[in-house]
Amino acid sequence: MARRPKRTDNGGPPLDDYDGPPWGEGDAYIFFAWQAAHAKAWKAPSRDVMLMRLDKAERLGLTYEEYTLELLERGRHLQEEDAERITEIKAARKRRRPR
Protein backbone atom coordinates (compact mmCIF):
# COMPACT_ATOMS: atom_id res chain seq x y z
CA MET A 1 0.00 0.00 0.00
CA ALA A 2 1.38 3.42 -0.95
CA ARG A 3 2.11 5.95 1.76
CA ARG A 4 -0.30 8.81 2.13
CA PRO A 5 1.34 12.09 0.99
CA LYS A 6 1.94 14.89 3.45
CA ARG A 7 -0.64 17.66 3.59
CA THR A 8 1.79 20.10 1.96
CA ASP A 9 2.83 17.72 -0.85
CA ASN A 10 1.59 18.79 -4.30
CA GLY A 11 2.50 15.50 -5.96
CA GLY A 12 5.24 17.08 -8.07
CA PRO A 13 8.92 16.23 -8.30
CA PRO A 14 11.27 16.95 -5.40
CA LEU A 15 12.56 20.50 -5.20
CA ASP A 16 15.64 20.07 -3.02
CA ASP A 17 19.11 18.71 -3.82
CA TYR A 18 18.73 14.97 -4.28
CA ASP A 19 21.17 12.40 -5.69
CA GLY A 20 18.58 9.78 -6.66
CA PRO A 21 16.41 9.62 -9.76
CA PRO A 22 14.85 12.93 -10.84
CA TRP A 23 11.37 11.82 -9.76
CA GLY A 24 12.47 11.10 -6.19
CA GLU A 25 11.07 8.20 -4.24
CA GLY A 26 7.59 8.50 -5.69
CA ASP A 27 5.96 7.37 -8.89
CA ALA A 28 7.95 8.15 -12.05
CA TYR A 29 4.67 8.57 -13.96
CA ILE A 30 3.72 11.62 -11.89
CA PHE A 31 7.12 13.20 -12.58
CA PHE A 32 6.83 12.67 -16.33
CA ALA A 33 3.21 13.86 -16.36
CA TRP A 34 4.26 17.10 -14.63
CA GLN A 35 7.17 17.50 -17.02
CA ALA A 36 4.92 17.02 -20.07
CA ALA A 37 2.26 19.40 -18.71
CA HIS A 38 4.88 22.08 -18.04
CA ALA A 39 6.31 21.74 -21.54
CA LYS A 40 2.85 21.90 -23.10
CA ALA A 41 1.79 24.95 -21.04
CA TRP A 42 4.94 26.91 -21.86
CA LYS A 43 5.24 25.82 -25.49
CA ALA A 44 6.05 28.85 -27.59
CA PRO A 45 2.89 30.25 -29.17
CA SER A 46 2.82 31.61 -32.69
CA ARG A 47 4.59 34.89 -33.36
CA ASP A 48 1.30 36.78 -33.69
CA VAL A 49 -0.05 35.46 -30.39
CA MET A 50 3.21 36.28 -28.66
CA LEU A 51 3.21 39.84 -30.00
CA MET A 52 -0.45 40.30 -29.00
CA ARG A 53 0.28 39.14 -25.44
CA LEU A 54 3.38 41.31 -25.25
CA ASP A 55 1.41 44.36 -26.39
CA LYS A 56 -1.37 43.74 -23.85
CA ALA A 57 1.16 43.09 -21.07
CA GLU A 58 3.02 46.34 -21.81
CA ARG A 59 -0.22 48.32 -21.85
CA LEU A 60 -1.10 46.91 -18.43
CA GLY A 61 2.41 47.47 -17.03
CA LEU A 62 3.20 43.76 -16.71
CA THR A 63 5.94 41.58 -18.13
CA TYR A 64 5.15 39.02 -20.82
CA GLU A 65 5.77 36.21 -18.33
CA GLU A 66 3.43 37.71 -15.71
CA TYR A 67 0.67 38.22 -18.26
CA THR A 68 1.07 34.71 -19.71
CA LEU A 69 1.19 33.10 -16.28
CA GLU A 70 -2.03 34.85 -15.31
CA LEU A 71 -3.63 33.61 -18.53
CA LEU A 72 -2.49 30.03 -17.87
CA GLU A 73 -3.53 30.06 -14.20
CA ARG A 74 -6.87 31.87 -14.46
CA GLY A 75 -7.84 31.13 -18.06
CA ARG A 76 -8.73 34.71 -18.93
CA HIS A 77 -7.04 37.71 -20.47
CA LEU A 78 -6.47 40.62 -18.10
CA GLN A 79 -8.19 43.88 -18.98
CA GLU A 80 -7.75 47.41 -17.69
CA GLU A 81 -10.83 46.82 -15.50
CA ASP A 82 -8.84 44.19 -13.58
CA ALA A 83 -6.81 46.90 -11.86
CA GLU A 84 -7.00 45.18 -8.47
CA ARG A 85 -5.49 41.93 -9.79
CA ILE A 86 -2.83 43.84 -11.75
CA THR A 87 -1.86 45.66 -8.55
CA GLU A 88 -1.55 42.30 -6.75
CA ILE A 89 0.76 40.98 -9.48
CA LYS A 90 2.95 44.09 -9.31
CA ALA A 91 3.12 43.85 -5.51
CA ALA A 92 4.21 40.21 -5.78
CA ARG A 93 6.90 41.27 -8.24
CA LYS A 94 8.35 43.64 -5.64
CA ARG A 95 8.42 40.86 -3.03
CA ARG A 96 10.29 38.50 -5.40
CA ARG A 97 13.14 40.89 -6.20
CA PRO A 98 16.51 39.87 -4.73
CA ARG A 99 17.96 42.26 -2.18
Rounded to two decimals, the pTM is 0.58
What is the C-alpha to C-alpha distance for residues 80 and 68, in angstroms, rounded to an integer? Answer: 16
Query: Is the pLDDT reported for residue 58 higher than 60?
Result: yes
pLDDT band at 86 (very low <50, low <70, confident <90, very high): very high
